[in-house]
Amino acid sequence: MIFDIDSHFEPGEDWLDPYPELSSRLPTLNPAITAIDGIAGNLLRDVPEADQPTVEELTPPGLLTLFAQEKEGEAERRAEFEGHNQFEVANAAARVEWLDSQGIDVQNVICLSGMAYRIALEDRDPPLLREAIRACNGWLADNCDAAAGRLLPVTTLDCSDLDWAIEELTRMRARNSRIFLIPGYPVNGIPPCHPQWDRLWSTATDLGMAPMLHVGFERSAFDPGWANLGTDVDQLRQFASSHLHVGAQTLLSAFVFNGVFERHPTLTLLLAELGVGWLPWFHRQIDGRIVPTSELFLGKWKYPLKPSEYLTRNVRGTPLSWATDQPVSRVIEELPDEMIVFSSDFPHFEGYTDPMGYYREALKDLSETRRQRFYGGEMADVFARMGDPIT
């Protein structure tokens, strides 16, 4: 089985058409600002407003191109985005046709359009935010239903109310969801590694579902001083992009050192669109925190497995096409067989229009057994370990 853990339907505001009453109560969003906030946060939040670049200057040409706009002089670059229309109409039949052309059996599909209202509503009107998320989850499940099990809706949650999150997770499992998005930061002052979150992780494993940390949900923190890099917005963007994996490292450390993976041995945390090129280094160095010298400063390690063994058992990541993950075959070889898994990220621009063609070449020197573990064998085992296999 070829099992794609990360793809997208991002239809802009079209998803709200079946929900006119809800639509009338939701604020208008700027999709570029929403994307920037989710990916890099507001690096300029403490810079005086008079000293900040304008929104137009801050919006990179790539985002404008994806939103069918262009900056002067950028028209010739449009070809770079051919096939990567992130706001195409959600069409299950067309997506299944694409899956068949690639030889992909099952694809998990994310829609972030409901969660996009977080920036406007999470502090002002959390119940309305949850209503939008629930409606979007339902819209996504309805669209995936038409694919007869080939498309699985990825559940989005608002974890500021864990009772609601558990109820929504249970509802969406009944809609054929197997993966759900989680925040990589404390919510209401309580981090996801705290025992107060255990009931969510227990529900997930009982339901046979895997949590996913996806770009936009890790919320890396920046010291305000980093904003004083100057007025070159390209430098600001490039600096912000270098921090995309920091939140993932924090969450992994928190889950390992606070015993989440010990308390929930069948829980598997997925990493998507955060890169995996840093993961071999992280896997190598994490055991250094429990050697005798480290224990003089950090205290006694109290769990039966080594930190790296928890990562091997409980963490799976998927590569990007970006330079940080290249060559991908080397990243895979430097880690245990289980840890790197397949996704297309289709149709996002950092993903692939021809993922199987790309990986056929990129992984040609790996053994057939290891390639099959990457394409779907390991994810099949992830769900089987929870007692609810993918069929």
Whether residue 360 is contained in a domain is answered as: yes
Is 390 contained in some domain? no
In a domain, 104, yes or no: yes
pLDDT score of 32: 66
| Residue 102: CATH number of its domain | 3.20.20.140
Residue 106 has pLDDT above 60, yes or no: yes
Domain interval for residue 210: 3-385
What percent of the chain lies above the pLDDT cut of 70? Answer: 80
Number of folded domains that form the chain? 1
Report, as an integer, the average pLDDT of 348-373. 93
pLDDT given at position 252:
95
Closest CA relative to residue 178, chosen from 211, 140, 209 = 209
What amino acid is encoded at 129 in this protein?
A: L
pLDDT-derived band at 244 (thresholds 50, 70, 90) equals low
pLDDT of residue 81: 45
Q: Is residue 391 part of a domain?
A: no
What is the spatial order of strands in the sheet that 151-153 belongs to? 3-8, 106-110, 151-153
Confidence of residue 220 (pLDDT cuts 50, 70, 90): low
pLDDT beyond 70 at 66: no
- Is a pLDDT exceeding 50 seen at residue 158? yes
Kindly tell me if the per-residue pLDDT of 118 is higher than 60.
yes
Q: Is residue 34 a part of any domain in this protein?
A: yes
Is 146 part of a structural domain of the chain?
Answer: yes
The per-residue pLDDT for 67 is 57
- pTM listed for this prediction: 0.88
Question: Residue 22 falls within a domain, yes or no?
Answer: yes
Asked if residue 53 is part of any domain, the answer here is: yes
Q: What is the pLDDT of residues 305-353, one digit of tens each?
A: 999 999 999 999 999 888 889 999 999 999 998 999 999 999 887 888 8
